[in-house]
Amino acid sequence: MKKFIYSILLAALTQFSTQTFASTSLEPCNTAECQEYFKAYKILTKRGHSEAMATLGELYYTGYGTDKDIKQALKWFRRAAKFGIVTAQYKAGVMYLQETDYKDVDKGIGYLKKASKIEFSPASFILGKVYLGDTFGVKNNKKADYWLSHAYELNNYQAKNFARKLFVSKSRDTFQMPRLYSLIANDISTSQFNADDLNSPKGEMEVITVSAPDYQAYFDAEIARLNNIEPDTKSGTGSNIAGNSCAKLWGCSTEGSSDRVRDVLLSDWGRESGQFRIDGGNW
């Protein structure tokens, strides 16, 4: 199993990165074997399997078994999103915010809100940052407070780290977020973390080892499973797809599930929206 090492630079309090520097887990591949996986997922999508649609979008986005094609990736994420596949909703939302050729802020926010309704915390975290800054023209402190708090309550690591650094920064009073600050103050009062821990020396480097999944094993298992269940015949909510529950489906579970490889298939989606300067509110 491959391991990817990435470093997070703990910058000064007035500027820090919210970018996940993990290498793209699923890498481009043009071998005959990768092409066979791509063909298998194409067949499954024709049969109407929404989970296969989400995976096919990832293959197009990465260039796995086919040429990299952003347009096709967005197309298949959108199709899977109609069936309630939460990570497809999330990825479509991120693409609409980040991909210049397809940028549509309203659509991006709409898809992220759909994912957030199923308590997919990365979507809530991005929504909080979208409303916190000026980049997308929708700056709204009240909404930023709501979505960042929601991600914080869902124990999203990035959201908690982001919020706590904001809480102890010199720019704290610039952003009026009473709900979020209340959650952090409660954590401090109950000794769940120490605010002093956030005051790391400038330039300190934290090294984290990330184990990537065995994608071929995942593809084999998913293809075999989808070949033995009825395909989706109508759009669902993510917990009601083809009569199956979220416990039986990987496509609708949240990032907390240890069995969910597709959540690791976020690839470089953790990039989210780049950097945010606390002092200036710039991305």
Q: Average of pLDDT values for 3-13? A: 21
pLDDT at 252: 39
Summarize the confidence of residues 101-123 as an average pLDDT: 94
**Residue entry with tokens 């991305």:** 283
CA dihedral for 72, 78, 82, 85, sign (positive or negative): positive
Angstrom distance (rounded) from CA 128 to CA 93: 14
CA distance 110 to 122: 14
Q: Is the pLDDT of residue 22 over 60?
A: no
pTM of the model: 0.76
- pLDDT for position 14: 19
Alpha helices (H) in 19-170, listed in sequence order: 32-47, 50-62, 70-82, 86-98, 105-117, 121-132, 141-153, 157-168
pLDDT in tens, 201-238: 445 555 545 455 678 888 999 999 999 999 986 544 44
What pLDDT, on a 0 to 100 scale, did the predictor assign at position 277? 55
Segment 18-35 shows an average pLDDT of 69
Give the chain's mean pLDDT.
76
Q: How far apart are CA 170 and CA 102, in angstroms?
A: 36
Distance CA 30, CA 64 (A): 6
Percent of the chain past pLDDT 70, that is, above it, reads 67
Cα 159 to Cα 19, 71, 123, 151, 208, distances in angstroms: 12, 30, 10, 6, 18
* Predicted confidence (pLDDT) at residue 184 exceeds the cutoff of 70: yes
- What DSSP string describes 205-247? EEEEEEEPP-HHHHHHHHHHHHTTSPPP-S---SSSBTTB-TT
Q: Residue 249 — very low, low, confident or very high, per pLDDT cuts 50/70/90?
A: very low
Give the gyration radius of the chain's Cα atoms.
19
Say how far apart CA 222 and CA 230 lie, in whole Å: 13
CATH number 1.25.40 given to 3-276:
yes
